[in-house]
Amino acid sequence: MRYMHQCFRALCCKGPPPPRPEYDLVCIGLSGSGKTSLLSQLCSESPENIVSTTGFSIKAVPFQNAILNVKELGGADNIRKYWSRYYQGSQGVIFVLDSASSEDDLETARNELHSALQHPQLCTLPFLILANHQDKPAARSVQEIKKYFELEPLARGKRWILKPCSLDDMEAVKDSFSLLINLLEERDFEPSRM
């Protein structure tokens, strides 16, 4: 009888849905990589109002199974040296790179990603690396980016995802973020290590 009562309550007496988990993320990448545009599109903001981030901004990006509180840091030369001051409390990292950028910018992006992957506050966190601007003719493939950025040896043992993206295919961007959410959820269920 007690079992039937529990089943009846589960079917008929549902309360409000459980709250979605929230994750605090940091989003980094060079100026012009498309961080602001991608995050604004994910938040359904009008593309006409997008202004490049000069310091930092915070956006709550809603997904069906989680809310991502994304702290986007500006990517200009004079701001990048302060990135590490904003890492504390992050549960994951989004790194956006312009896959169609110049060799010099790609080298700078590579160095910044390497620094982030090795930073004490970020090195154990899941990374979503977005190779943006795939719609441009000069865009490098994900395989080229993976090789150039030396991700296999550098990120061995770390949890990272490298995905192509562009504003023309926001479904692919959402799918990439869903993969990151999966990594964040897995991290929640890991037994704590002493």
Residue 65 marked in a binding site: no
Residue 55 marked in a binding site: no
Residue 88 marked in a binding site: no
Contact 87, 121 (CB under 8 A): yes
Residue 147 marked in a binding site: no
Residue 180 marked in a binding site: no
Residue 46 marked in a binding site: no
Residue 53 marked in a binding site: yes
Which residue matches tokens 């004079």?
78
Residue 89 marked in a binding site: no
Residue 32 marked in a binding site: yes
Residue 108 marked in a binding site: no
Query: Can you tell me the distance from the alpha carbon of 169 to that of 134, in angstroms, rounded to the nearest whole number?
Result: 10
Cα atoms found within 13 Å of the Cα of residue 38, Cβ hemisphere only: 31
Residue 133 marked in a binding site: yes
Query: Can you tell me the distance from the alpha carbon of 190 to that of 158, in angstroms, rounded to the nearest whole number?
Result: 14
Please state the residue numbers annotated as binding site for Mg(2+): 36, 53
Please state the residue numbers annotated as binding site for GTP: 29-36, 75, 132-135
Please state the residue numbers annotated as binding site: 29-36, 53, 75, 132-135
